[in-house]
Structure 1
Amino acid sequence: MKIKLITTTYNNEQKKTIGHTSEFFEDTGVELQAVNVYPKIVYQKFEGFGAAITEAAGYTFSLMGEENQKRIISAYFGPEGNNYNLVRTHIDSCDFSVGQYAAMNDPEDHELKSFSLKRDEEYIIPMLKKAEQTAGKKLSVMLSPWSPPSFMKSNGSRTEGGSLKPEYREFWAAYICRYIKEYRKKGFHITMMTIQNEPNAKQTWDSCLYTDQEEKEFLRDYLYPALVKNELDDIEVSIWDHNKERMFERASAIIDEETNKMVQGVAFHWYSGDHFDAIRLVREQFPDKKLIFTEGCVEYSRFSEAGQLANAQMYAHDIIGNINAGMNAFIDWNLILNQEGGPNHVGNYCDAPVMCDTDNDAVQEKLSYTYIGHFSRYIQPGAVRIASTKYSDKLEAVSMKNPDETIVLVLLNRSAEEMLINLRIEGKTASFSLPAGSITTGIL
């Protein structure tokens, strides 16, 4: 028996990925530098990887030449790429839009006659169509609102927080259902939604505040009945959609005997730190809910000097920690951005795994793209996490078993020293080393 190993190093700003194999032998009692994998001990099912097609991503994509458009889409959705099967996009505008917009803005139009996806049809939908064409299958799409139309808000604005006026709760629920139905009419596989992106954040961009009780009441009394009325109750609704540190409190406040059937998942972001134990706590207390990472990116306002290796390691560290804590799916933020880290209508510029120089029609695949691929290229939708142990806190590891019974082990060495590995599995041992500052995927 052999294990196939794919290792990526990054030295002197040069990426190098090599493949090699290691032979398994009978375990003779090795104790040191051991990593143990237990395929028969199974945890949560994993549904896949993806990223967001924002208006910013779609607009940037539209400015690239035909060959680079093919390269970008193939890099994410092609069989030789990162094999994404999930997509998130926004209901109406978000910060990563070219400007603010809504599908309708008439407070008297209760029948939504003026409702139009014209703005989505300019940049988001064309990119989504090409992604599906390249993937050769329907992608599972999540919709998330950043703000209701301004006339529905307590502050009369899409920005600076504000809240949904109680008298517009029914109208807003109908609006969301219309959005889903219009996307489905166009043939897209809308399977998931979140109630509100970052409901605890008052932002200079599109945002809306919900207390836990407001989110619960909107879901229970307005959104869920509207989904049922519109025959959309197959949509999987996730609550929270914000940072990890308060996800348990939000889940505990919203999910009860009455709302349990209405909530399929808890969505979370990474911006307030690891909080892997928060994910684990939600997994333990709400074992039937899907725990979905719905957004994370390298913000220039916080990490502009970190460098590609640190940024890529941040992705791998988070993916490993999240999966080990019980995560069911990982959806990155923008698929692509321009050379400025936008466009972003409030200047909230960020990094993306693939960056585009729209002035010179040039594409740069960042190291973070490669690191994500160390997971997404090999962990198949439907895989299950299996048990593993490791010998050092300098080493991070996660192990998965695919539907085809292949085992995938991802090992991250963030230290400045080479690490030796004695991989033990079902009475066999294979020995190999992890270079300093490297990531390795093993398949057997």
Structure 2
Amino acid sequence: MKLVTTSYVDNKKETFTKEYEMQVDNGAAMNVVNLYPDIEYQTFHGFGGAVTEAAGYAFSKLSKENQEKVADQYFGTEGNQYNLIRTHIDSCDFSLDNYEAMSDPDDVSMESFTLDRDEKYILPLLRAGLAKRKEPFDLMLTPWSPPAFMKTNGDRNHGGKLKKEFMGFWAEYICRYIKEYEAKGFPVNRITVQNEPEAVQSWDSCIFSGEEEKVFLRDYLYPALVKNDLERIKVNIWDHNKERLYDRAKAEIDADTDKMIDGIAFHWYTGDHFEAIGITKDAFPGKELIFTEGCVEYSRFDASQLSNAQMYAHDIIGNMNAGMTGFIDWNILLDEKGGPNHVNNYCDAPIMIDTKKDTFEQKLSFDYIGHFSRYIKKDAKRIAFTKYTDKLELTALKNPEGSLVLVALNRTEQDLPVSIRLEGKTVDFTVAKASIATAIF
């Protein structure tokens, strides 16, 4: 067994690896964690983050040498090995300003449609990641708002709704975006119908009730996908906070829409609500449950790297044990201000770039995410375990080739002993205080 541990003491992080020999189980009973790889739960699709215009802009300010290093950190074989990417259809708050692929209401054939803006910052970062990864991402596209002319408030920002007379046009617009991305060499696997459909924001936003989102999907978007030979694209609904996850699924999934909806996406901004994931999983078995956004907002959280990294690990573990099938962080990169953001809604990212000094900082959150993403492979199966104490937060998975991965988070100020029991053998080790550890069997 190999154990990788990251600790953070006196504002310094240290990662170290140690090998252990499994021993014959002679009746271990204290400090036990049992692993049961024969009991399997959901299939896990992988880890990733959002490539926003802000991320691409920050990336563009690095020298070629440092761009290579950053791309390696996220996508290389020795890095966090991201395979899931989410990006935005037209602008979002983490864009330099509002923009649209086309803004002419009279251009019904979309002749003015262009992805020139994506070509400036988003696609170069995607290409850099693809060069390191050497195989396509599982790519998700998400709209924050339809073009302003399609909305009741005539504005990309401040909520508003999609006008009924533009529902068909907006569905075709989304299909066009998918086709344009694929023509540029980026196959699209998934979309969400609308980012945060219940939030009126000062940035790009659009309101859909559960019934409105269902009608748009059923009567316009899904038929447009079929018409454009894009029925293979997986559609996720909601894409908002966990506390209403089940409510939204119940409002939208019925006999007509069940085949149209592949999953329910969720964010973390209103707290744990791990039970909501479990309830939704039980009520709608077979649906994806993908975490699609979470970040350390400067307006809400302090600058403690340890507490922020622990927040990530706590949420990943709780979500995964409840039934999550994929994890997509928010911006993978941001500049020294926590942007750019066209409404100054700044936040932290796992890698922060100083655009004036051509340097980057790898935050502790990056390492904590890596304790999962580097070792848990695409299509791993979550497996059963038991643990002796609630002071340890644990999850365990079995990779497709058969290796087992146990991630242990210790948020306490005391070292915690562990005796792993696995198929007639045991191994003892300690999870240090204020650390995260990954055991690979």
TM-score normalised by length of structure 1:
0.98
User: Which residue is 2:336 aligned to?
Assistant: 339
Find the counterpart in structure 1 of residue 421 from structure 2. Answer: 424
- Give the whole-Å Cα distance in 2 for the aligned partners of 1:86 and 1:11: 31
**Does 2:392 align with 1:395?**
yes
The answer for the alignment partner of 2:381 in structure 1 is 384
Alpha-carbon distance, 1:33 to partner:
1.2
Instruction: Give the Cα separation in 2 of the matches to 1:99 and 1:138.
Output: 29
Q: What is the TM-score when the length of structure 2 is the normalising length?
A: 0.99
Q: Equivalents in 2 of 1:32, 1:319: separation in Å?
A: 27
Q: Distance in 1 between matches of 2:361 and 2:217?
A: 41
Q: 2-side partners of 1:349 and 1:22: how far apart?
A: 43
Partner of 2:256: 258
Shift of residue 338 of structure 1?
0.4
- 1:217 is aligned, of 210, 215, 218, to 215
Partner of 2:19: 21
**In structure 2, how many angstroms separate the alpha carbons of the residues matched to 1:50 and 1:423?**
29
Aligned to 1:282: 280
1:234-268 deviations in Å (ceiling 9; x for gaps): 00000000000001000011011110110001100
Any residues of structure 2 matched to 1:64-143 within 5 Å, and which? 64-143=62-141
The one-letter code matched in structure 2 to 1:430 is V
* CA distance, structure 2, for counterparts of residue 231 and residue 23 of structure 1: 53
3-state DSSP of counterpart to 1:203:
coil
Q: Does 1:313 align with 2:310?
A: yes
Distance 2:404 2:336 in 1: 38
Structure 1 runs of 4+ with >4 Å offset: none
Unaligned regions of 5+ residues in structure 1, if any? none
Shift of 1:30: 2.1
In the TM superposition, residue 306 of structure 1 has moved relative to its aligned partner by: 4.3
TM-superposition CA deviations, 1:74-120 (whole Å, max 9, x none): 00000110000111000000000011000001111111111111100
Q: 1:270 aligns with which of 268, 271, 281?
A: 268
**Identity, % of aligned positions:** 59
Q: What's the secondary structure of 1:10's corresponding residue?
A: strand
* Residue-by-residue CA offset, 1:140-172 (whole Å, 9 max, x unaligned): 110000000111111111111111111110110
SS class of match (2:299): helix
- Looking at structure 2, the residues matched to 137 and 27 of structure 1 have their Cα atoms a distance apart, in angstroms, of 42
**Letter in structure 1 aligned against 2:306:** L
- Measured in 1, the distance between the counterparts of 2:388 and 2:168 equals 54
Q: Which residue identity is paired with 1:263?
A: I
**Counterpart residue identity of residue 81, structure 1:** G
Match of 1:229 among 220, 227, 230: 227
**How far 1:187 sits from its partner (Å)?**
1.3
C-alpha separation in 1, matches of 2:158 and 2:338: 22
Say if 2:404 is the partner of 1:411.
Answer: no
What CA RMSD, in Å, does the superposition of the two structures yield over aligned residues? 0.7
**Residue type at the aligned position of 2:75:** F
Per-residue CA distance 1:215-242 (angstroms, 9 max, x = gap): 0000000000000000011000000000
Of the candidates 49, 52, 58, which is equivalent to residue 50 of structure 2? 52
- Identify the residue that residue 242 of structure 1 maps to in structure 2: 240
Residues 347-356 or 424-433, more deviating: 424-433
State the match for 1:170 in structure 2.
168
Give the counterpart of 2:37 among 17, 33, 39. Answer: 39
Determine the C-alpha separation between the residues in 1 that align with 2:343 and 2:160. 17
TM-superposed deviation, 1:130: 1.1
Secondary structure at the residue paired with 1:16? strand
Separation in 2 of the partners of 1:23 and 1:183?
49
Deviation at 1:28, TM superposition (A): 2.2
SS at match of 2:264: strand
CA deviations on 1:354-382 (whole Å, 9 max, x unpaired) are 00001000110000000000000000101
In structure 1, C-alpha distance between the alignment counterparts of 2:215 and 2:143, rounded to whole Å: 17
Structure 1 distance, partners of 2:14, 2:72, is: 21
